Amino acid sequence: MNLPVEVIEAVNQGRCVLFVGSRFTGEAAEEQGLTYPEPKELARELGWKRPKQLMGGRARPARPSALEGAASYAREHGRAALEQRLAELVGATQVKPAGFHKTALSRFPLIFTTCQDQVMERAAVEMGGQVQVLYRGAALPELKADQRTLYKLNGGFEQPGSLVIEGADRGPMEEAVRRQIRDLVRGHVVFFVGYRPDSEEFEAVFDDLTQCYGGELPRCHLAVAQGQIDDFLWQKWVWRGLLMFTADPSECMAELEARIEH
């Protein structure tokens, strides 16, 4: 694994902002023998069904969509039932924090996450401290070396009103917050860990940042979880300024810890 030098230098200088995806929780769950659905499995659990073939034999795109599954589940059972079902599937109440959760907290004063569980918060408690939790749309805090902040872009199950589940939940942020995020991106190296470049989860968080920035983002880095990067995805993202390498959260955080200044 070749951890980018730009990331290592930025962490050493306090100029790296971390974005954590659901694979952070998924890998910890797997290590503990617990069930945590991958995005395609989650979509099917929520009721996503493969679209019917169009006239002329041309099929519509058939990538399993958790967003479409959530919308279908909400139509049939209601929003409250959808939230409860998602909490059962990805709430991760039994998942214990892994070492890579603690590495992330020890090295990054501000962590953005699309995870909706509380594994990172439990990691902070196990480390003898606390983490300030903010939700989508909140103003960014002043960064301090001795304070840890977790910014939940998709909300959290502990605060049901904050949850971003269906497309309609993901409204634009206020201009003041967008400006704060734009300034943060300009002055920091953006590092994504725990995402796949073909997932809705990553598409959404990248679009959030692009909208806040007001255009194409500066060069960013993505540690691609679970497997190789095919040529289509490579070309799709490279032209948008995203540099990718393959590494799951545990591998990535271990390498980072080994190579940064202590």
Q: Is the pLDDT of residue 56 over 60?
A: no
pLDDT digits (tens, 9 = 90+) for 153-179: 999 999 989 999 988 888 889 999 999
User: Are 59 and 188 within one domain?
Assistant: no
User: DSSP assignment of 192-228, as one string?
Assistant: EEEE-TTSHHHHHHHHHHHHHHTSSPPPEEEEE-SS-
User: Are 76 and 130 within one domain?
Assistant: no
User: Are 74 and 190 within one domain?
Assistant: no
User: Are 110 and 27 within one domain?
Assistant: yes
Mean pLDDT of the chain: 91
Give the pLDDT confidence score for residue 61 in this predicted structure: 57
User: Are 83 and 207 within one domain?
Assistant: no
Domain termination site, one of 90, 106, 128: 90
Give the pLDDT confidence score for residue 213 in this predicted structure: 94
User: Are 176 and 208 within one domain?
Assistant: yes
User: Are 214 and 238 within one domain?
Assistant: yes
Domain assignment of residue 214, given as a range: 5-34+96-259
Domain termination site, one of 49, 68, 90: 90
Give the pLDDT confidence score for residue 195 in this predicted structure: 95
Number of domains in the chain: 2
User: Are 66 and 167 within one domain?
Assistant: no
User: Are 147 and 188 within one domain?
Assistant: yes
Determine the average pLDDT of the residues in 8-29.
95
pLDDT digits (tens, 9 = 90+) for 105-155: 999 999 999 999 999 999 999 999 989 999 999 999 988 778 899 999 999
pLDDT digits (tens, 9 = 90+) for 199-221: 999 999 999 999 999 988 999 99
| pLDDT level of residue 50 (50, 70, 90 thresholds) | confident
Determine the average pLDDT of the residues in 253-258.
94
CATH of the domain at 199: 3.40.50.1220
Cβ within 8 Å of residue 228, ≥6 positions away: 246
User: Are 199 and 159 within one domain?
Assistant: yes
pTM of the model: 0.93
| pLDDT level of residue 57 (50, 70, 90 thresholds) | low
Share of the chain above pLDDT 90, in %: 75
Q: Characterise 27 by phi-psi region: left (phi > 0), alpha (psi -120 to 50), beta (else).
A: alpha
User: Are 70 and 9 within one domain?
Assistant: no
User: Are 44 and 158 within one domain?
Assistant: no
Nearest to 195 by CA among 22, 9, 49, 12: 22
